[in-house]
Amino acid sequence: MAYDAEPGGDPRGPWCPRCRLPVKPGDPATKMYFAEDPDGARGISGLWHGECARPYWDKMTPALDRLRLFGGS
């Protein structure tokens, strides 16, 4: 590939682990970290498109709301 020799990695920026497309500057994005892949070496942690991360947030938001009720924050 043409960018393999580029020092510092891919000059086009980060790629979304879910859809495998580049996350361009200005795109809505979310940094996601998973315990199984804290440094992103397995390809699941990193910068995700906002819409690609939505299914995870839709599952987590109700749980976070319940925790907020118990924590008083």
22-71 tens-digit pLDDT: 898 899 999 988 888 888 888 888 999 999 999 888 888 888 788 888 87
Q: For residue 1, is it within any domain?
A: no
Rounded distance between C-alpha atoms, residue 35 and residue 27, angstroms: 25
Its pTM surpasses 0.95 = no
* Total number of domains in the chain: 1
Q: How many CA atoms lie within 13 A of 25 on its CB side?
A: 3
Structural domain for 20, as ranges: 9-47
pLDDT at 27: 92
